[in-house]
Amino acid sequence: MLNAIWMGMIVLSFAGALMTGNLTALSKAAADGAQNAVTTALLLLGAMCLWLGMMNIAREAGVTAWLSRALSPLIRRLFPEYAGEKAVHEKISMNLAANMLGMGNAATPFGLAAMDEMQRLSGGYWPTKGMVLFVVMNTAAFQLIPSSVVTLRAAYGSADPYDIMVHIWFVSLGSLLLCIAVCKVLERFTWKS
Amino acid sequence: MEVLGAASVCAVLALIAAVGYVKGLPVFDLFTAGAREGLETALRLLPTLVGLITAISMLRASGVLELLCGALRPLTDAVGVDPAIVPLALLRPFSGSGSVSYVTELYAQYGADSDIARLAAILASSTETTFYAAAVYFGGRGFRSIRYTIPAALCGDCAAVVLSIVSLRLFG
């Protein structure tokens, strides 16, 4: 799937640039994009080291165990194949908590750690149901505190920058629930055992 | 609000460090040991990021999005939605920074409290950058396929577009 999408993006850009005469801009964009990727990786590197370091302390101190106990009814229902796996529960719960608090920088390192743990358990060349559901949930992240958008609206002189919060909860929760439902339906069609 | 988001990050950092120390743990040693794992993960992701971000950057520069927006014009007219939302709906799954800069342009052009700016703010905050997230989470793992990840995630993105229009019409 990613192979086809990636090829499609590049070929489509070339075709589009031919039609609009943007070829110079396109070649510059390719070079800039590769450079930006390195910057992004470096930013991610800092966040990864910081939050995985903090997670190591939190794990030893029992903070993650406490959090995963609190969220485990939810996690067990969503990821039944990892029902007994404490390490997976801890990392998923850290990711969910970071997402809800709007700590985007921390959610990714925790999420990657959760994926590593799930892959370690399952092995093989195919992602598990749980891994797919987990990634799809992260593409539809639900935020309790959408701090960046409120800050930006206030900066542009909004009279009430908070007045969209309820809408954001409604829309993001709605699309998250739909994502989960779609995954649960597709699981039945693609895993026949 | 910015303070609230920043406060939650600082509070979590301070809380974890303090709880660990009070429990008698070698907190700094634990931190550095954990941080080392981050190094490996971030380096493993570099090739994925170069491939994806280059392709996204090309897509944005090529003018394909503008062509698509023109093609979708009859649809927005039929539903009665401002066509200025279409570029955002198309851009959002690919580029987080691109969406933020587009939303900012709408604030500057129409005012932060205009209907279109509110719609854009809701839509941009209600979903994540789908392709980036899928690539980062699955990058470098050597899987043959990621199964139905993209279709399921795009269902969510489409739902977010519909729901944000519905939400504003229902609750104002």
Q: Where are the domains of chain A?
A: 1-61, 62-193
The closest CB to that of B137, out of A111, A140, A161, belongs to: A111
Could you give the ipTM of this predicted complex?
0.89
DSSP classification of residue B83: G
pLDDT for B3 equals: 66
Nearest to A136 by CA among B127, B91, B121: B127
Q: Which pair of structure tokens corresponds to residue B37?
A: 């794992």
Q: How far apart are CA A19 and CA A21, in angstroms?
A: 6
Number of neighbours of residue A74 by Cβ within 10 angstroms: 12
Interchain CB distance below 8 Å, A175 and B156:
yes
Q: pTM of the predicted model, to two decimals?
A: 0.90
**Arithmetic mean of pLDDT, A13-34:** 92
Q: What is the mean pLDDT of chain B?
A: 90
Residues of B in contact with A42 (CB under 8 A): 42
Is residue A91 predicted with pLDDT exceeding 80?
A: yes
Query: Which residues of chain B have a CB within 8 Å of the CB of A49?
Result: 35-36, 38-39, 42
**Percent residues over pLDDT 70 in chain B:** 97
Q: According to the model, what pLDDT value does residue B2 have? A: 56
For residue A102, what pLDDT band results from cuts at 50, 70 and 90?
confident
Bigger pLDDT: B2 or A160? Answer: A160
Q: How far apart, in whole angstroms, are the C-alpha atoms of residue A152 and residue B98?
A: 15
Choose among B107, B152, B160: nearest Cβ to A183: B152
- What is the mean predicted confidence (pLDDT) over A115-144? 92
Q: What percent of chain B clears pLDDT 90, i.e. is strictly above it?
A: 63
pLDDT, tens digit (0-9, with 9 covering 90-100), for B30-68: 999 999 988 888 888 899 889 988 998 999 899 888 888
pLDDT at A193: 47
Containing H/E element for A88?
helix A86-100
B140 within 8 A of A170, measured Cβ to Cβ:
no
